[in-house]
Amino acid sequence: MSSINVPVPDVCHIEVDHVSVVFGTGTQQVTALSDVSFHIGSNEFVSLLGPSGCGKSTLLRLVADLLQPTSGSVRIAGDEPEKARLQRQFGIVFQTPALFDWRTVRHNVELPLELLGTSKKECKRMSAELLELVGLTRFADHYPWQLSGGMQQRVSIARALALDPPLLLMDEPFSALDEFTKEKLQLELLDIKRSTGKTFLFVTHSIPEAVFLSDRIIVLSAHPGQVHSIHHVELPSERNRELRETEAFYQMITTIRNCFYEERDPSDTSALL
């Protein structure tokens, strides 16, 4: 395994220390993650990148308190994930939007606020603000089934932001969308990052997506899932459509792609699969 040493962030938001996850027993046993460690700083956008089965979602589920590690520890702002969850320290966006079809867009976004007992007036004010942030003001009274896939995903992003969590966990949120919608939502996500200053942990298996969005990329290798290398994305912090056409962007993609193949027999791609 190659590993590029990168400085530890000044203010740690997420600390993953020597985490391993083993599923099943006996012949069914799968080591999904083996001795994984990394730190993510406040306001950082970090992508977990790797091939199918390398443990990206498992890692995100650990941070989201949906799963416990077999060994090692995860901390969010110094707390265990359970405490962070109870204190609503993070929002989650999954690959499929998982909206309630019988609730309007506005009422889907308001759901977490309603569950907290927020007044109707305040719910309405906040959902209007969030829908403006994701460009869906006009569709507040539509139902999810009246929206495109990209618009539905915007609703789920707005809902994840409803309780104003400092951390957003996103598991391949754009992978089911067409290229045009994906690129548009990537730009919108960066706008949200700029305007809210939140920390993002983003799972993807797309190298260009990880390069375009991230401050740092954690590359995972599979079987068992391990940190292969961690990369600073040396691109201007202002990311726009033109950046995708630059030499620097292509170079970064090549650097990341090559790291999957280095120090191995080029004909042996088993570590990636």
Ligand X SMILES: Nc1ncnc2c1ncn2[C@@H]1O[C@H](COP(=O)(O)OP(=O)(O)OP(=O)(O)O)[C@@H](O)[C@H]1O
Q: Please name the residue ranges forming H helices in the chain.
A: 56-63, 81-86, 105-115, 120-133, 149-161, 179-196, 207-213, 247-259
23 vs 261, which CB is nearer to ligand X?
23
**Of 54-62, 114-122, 134-142, 239-247, which segment contacts ligand X by CB under 6 A?**
54-62
Q: Show the tokens assigned to 123.
A: 């719910």
Rounded to an integer, what distance in angstroms lies between the CA atom of residue 187 and that of residue 151?
Answer: 14
Binding residue for ligand X (CB under 6 A) from 8, 11, 23, 270?
Answer: 23
Rounded to an integer, what distance in angstroms lies between the CA atom of residue 211 and that of residue 256?
Answer: 9
Query: Per CB under 6 A, does 54 bind ligand X?
Result: yes
Residue 136 burial by Cβ neighbours in a 10 Å radius (0-12, 13-18, 19+): buried
CB of 175 vs ligand X, minimal distance in Å: 9
Residue with tokens 């993070």: 90
147, 182 Cβ separation under 8 angstroms: no
Query: Per CB under 6 A, does 227 bind ligand X?
Result: no
Query: Per CB under 6 A, does 154 bind ligand X?
Result: no
Query: Per CB under 6 A, does 201 bind ligand X?
Result: no
Binding residue for ligand X (CB under 6 A) from 57, 152, 199, 214?
Answer: 57
Residue with tokens 């309780």: 163
CB of 24 vs ligand X, minimal distance in Å: 5
22 vs 163, which CB is nearer to ligand X?
22
Query: Per CB under 6 A, does 135 bind ligand X?
Result: no
**Of 9-17, 49-57, 81-89, 98-106, which segment contacts ligand X by CB under 6 A?**
49-57
Rounded to an integer, what distance in angstroms lies between the CA atom of residue 177 and that of residue 85?
Answer: 28
Residues in the chain: 273
CB of 47 vs ligand X, minimal distance in Å: 12
- Residues lying near ligand X in the complex (CB under 6 A) are found at 23-24, 30, 32, 50, 52-58, 205, 225
